[in-house]
A = this chain, B = another copy of it.
Amino acid sequence: MSPPEGRLPNITVTQLEYLEAVGATPTWSEAASQLGVTISALSQGLAELERRVGLPLFERQGRRRRPTPAAEVVRTHAATVLASTRDVARWARATRQGHDGGLRVGMIDAAAIHHFPDALARFRSERPDVDLRLRVAPSGALLDELSRAELDIVVCVDPGDDDRLDRRALLEEELHVYAPGDLVARPPHDRPGPWVTFPEGSHTRAIIAAALAARGDDFEVVAESNQPEVLREMVRVGMGWSVLPTWVVAQADPGPPLRAEATPLAVRPLVAVRRAGALYHPGAEALFEVLATATAGTDQ
């Protein structure tokens, strides 16, 4: 039906690295110096890549070059190949040195400090052989790093369906609307707000924005932070309203209590994610088991 028909274009890892670099960098010069090659090499390498793919990947716009739609396809390919190559390289280095290279785990703050600190501790005591490295960051950053094979497993807000990800549900956090203490009594015809919330681009913010829009509320944002504790304190000092997981507020330190709406505004599903097709890592599988049992039956 579709015999391999001759040999494949010898698209090199180097060329794909070039493509990734220019995609992540404003100018080619900068990309070149980050890669440690001359602009000349970069330019020629990308020209060669275009030739091998057989389609124009960049068009001139003034003195810069801008990727064509075709480049997007090849960039996706590059991401796949580079991630897999990084995996293999890391695995080979670790194997040479006789260990497994450690397990690089990414978690959002909620997971690291609230839901899974005990699970992590248990994992470390059960599997002292695994060299665990934890990175805490927002979901988006973690997923980026996962896709570049810089992390092995990530616990974050569900990013939704994606071919390249292997997702497993862990739990759902209820998100409640919190009002500054002195505003709780606002008559019901007043709309809530303004809001303090997560920065633009945050997965949780997207969930919140959608839920507020669905019930017809404005979403004027007057302050932003990725740290839920910071948001909680801003509400406390009267900056505005916020939507937070309940545990952030329950984790009460002294100060005036916040008032919440009784019913949750939305839920935030947390999932464990790996790259689809990632190298088998025994530690990753074991960690997932621990996370799954830690949440068994205990949503929230």
Q: How many copies does the complex hold?
A: 2
Report B-chain residues with C-beta under 8 Å of the C-beta of A292. none
**Is A9 part of the binding interface, using a Cβ–Cβ cutoff of 8 Å?**
yes
Among A1-39, those with CB < 8 Å from B are 1-4, 7-14, 17, 35-36
Among A68-112, those with CB < 8 Å from B are 70, 73-74, 76-77, 80-82, 84-93, 95-96, 104
Report B-chain residues with C-beta under 8 Å of the C-beta of A74. 88
Residue pair B8, A82 in contact (C-beta under 8 Å): yes
Q: When chains A and B are docked, how far (Å) is the Cα of A84 from the Cα of B82?
A: 11
Residue pair A70, B95 in contact (C-beta under 8 Å): yes
**Is A150 part of the binding interface, using a Cβ–Cβ cutoff of 8 Å?**
yes
Using C-beta atoms within 8 Å of the partner chain, give the interface range for chain A. 35 or more
* 19 interchain pairs, CB-CB under 8 A: A1-B150, A2-B145, A3-B150, A4-B148, A7-B14, A8-B13, A9-B89, A11-B13, A11-B85, A12-B12, A12-B13, A54-B93, A55-B92, A70-B95, A77-B85, A77-B88, A80-B277, A163-B276, A163-B277
